[in-house]
Amino acid sequence: DPFAQSGQIGACFLHLPSVPSTNRVIADLGRRDYPTGTVVVADHQTEGRGKGERVWVSNPGDSLCLSILLRPRRPIAELAQATLVAAVGVREGLSYTGLDARIKWPNDLLVDGRKICGILCELVTTPEGDPDFLIVGIGLNVRTPPLPDDLPDRVTSVSAEVGADASRFALLSHVLSALDVWFGRWEDRGFDPIRRAWLSHSCTIGRRVSLDCGASTVTGIATDMGADGSLGIRDEGGVCHRFHFGETSFPAP
Ligand code: BTN
């Protein structure tokens, strides 16, 4: 239903040549009352950040680095779902290139097992500690893999996959309109349509995964995604676990 588009995402748009991190720029704009849907795109990041305090390295112009400010109308308890909404939206935006990316819980996009896009969602709180707004940061590999040659088989890019030079501008516009549709659906109809889309494009459910949740690692079969977006894992001793955050990987057999 293309008419679900709210028109909010990208209505306020900044394109900057070089910034430390687009997520940090959005954090500043959010505190300065910029509207929901504000987008910052940078050609280069000097201090790009990934999940788990890792760095996100990209060559200038070779990846699409953007962040979105969101003030969702959903209850605070549901905000972990935003990260899954973002994965579904970026995946759909990318599909116009012919790529059928799969989602690794919660939100990495993979093509034939290689990462093509990473998403870093952050919740910003008020000085009093109340939820204020969300930052959705997206790093999409457009031309060359952003990591050095010592990890050649773990990352890929749109150009590497489709064999042509991908236009960053066309990708950006498809990704933003798909995100607008999917965040609009989430706000209007809740998580159920997002969950169905996520499941139909996932490469996680039914697979053997390891989940790193900071303190410990659980390895087992990913059994399901809960109605709230959580991941169920049955470990090798048959014990079922449920996770609301963390990072999954596919361990060697
Ligand atoms: C991951 O580790 O998979 C998440 C990577 C997120 C990278 C993007 S690039 C735009 C935005 N700004 C950042 O500093 N990080 C995110």
Ligand 1 close to Cβ of residue 23 (< 6 A): yes
Residue 211 to residue 207: CA distance in whole angstroms? 12
Q: What's the CATH number of domain 2-200, 3.30.930.10, 3.20.20.80, 3.30.70.100, 3.30.565.10? A: 3.30.930.10
Spacing, Cα 24 to ligand 1 middle (Å): 11
Vertex 249: Cα angle to 176 and 109 (nearest 5): 15
**CATH 3.30.930.10 residue ranges for the chain:** 2-200
Spacing, Cα 18 to ligand 1 middle (Å): 15
Specify whether the CB–CB gap between 138 and 172 falls below 8 A. Answer: no
For residue 39, which of 12, 18, 16 has the smallest C-alpha distance?
Answer: 12
Vertex 151: Cα angle to 145 and 157 (nearest 5): 20
pLDDT beyond 80 at 9: yes
For residue 70, which of 122, 25, 140 has the smallest C-alpha distance?
Answer: 122
Q: What is the pLDDT of residue 147?
A: 56
Q: What is the pLDDT of residue 58?
A: 83
Residue 20 to residue 44: CA distance in whole angstroms? 8
Q: Which residue is closest in CA terms to ligand 1's atom 15?
A: 49
Please write the tens of the pLDDT for every residue from 49-90: 999 889 998 888 789 999 999 998 888 778 889 999 999 999
Q: Which residue is closest in CA terms to ligand 1's atom 10?
A: 65
Q: What is the pLDDT of residue 2?
A: 47
Q: What's the CATH number of domain 208-249, 2.40.50.140, 3.30.70.330, 1.10.940.10, 2.30.30.100? A: 2.30.30.100
Ligand 1 close to Cβ of residue 248 (< 6 A): no
Helix intervals (H) in 95-200: 158-162, 168-189, 192-200
**CATH 2.30.30.100 residue ranges for the chain:** 208-249
**How would DSSP label each residue in 78-105?**
GGGGHHHHHHHHHHHHHGGGT---EEET
Atom of ligand 1 nearest to the CA of 48: 14
Please write the tens of the pLDDT for every residue from 37-53: 999 999 999 999 999 88
Q: What is the pLDDT of residue 197?
A: 98
Specify whether the CB–CB gap between 64 and 168 falls below 8 A. Answer: yes
Ligand 1 close to Cβ of residue 21 (< 6 A): yes
Give the three-state DSSP class for 51: helix
Residue 30 to residue 132: CA distance in whole angstroms? 8
Cβ atoms within 10 A of the Cβ of 95, count? 14
Ligand 1 close to Cβ of residue 58 (< 6 A): no
Vertex 224: Cα angle to 219 and 229 (nearest 5): 105
Q: Is the peptide bond before 2 cis (omega within 30 degrees of 0)?
A: no
Please write the tens of the pLDDT for every residue from 146-170: 456 665 578 899 998 998 778 899 9
Residue 148 to residue 207: CA distance in whole angstroms? 28
pLDDT > 90 in the chain, percent = 77
Calculate the CA dihedral of residues 83, 10, 142, 103 and round it to 10 degrees.
20
Q: Which residue is closest in CA terms to ligand 1's atom 2?
A: 50
Question: CA–CA distance from 206 to each of 54, 125, 178, 231, 250 (Å)?
Answer: 28, 36, 27, 11, 12
Across the range 190-208, mean pLDDT stands at: 97
Question: CA–CA distance from 108 to each of 99, 115, 154, 234 (Å)?
Answer: 15, 7, 12, 21
Strand spans (E) along 20-89: 39-45, 63-70
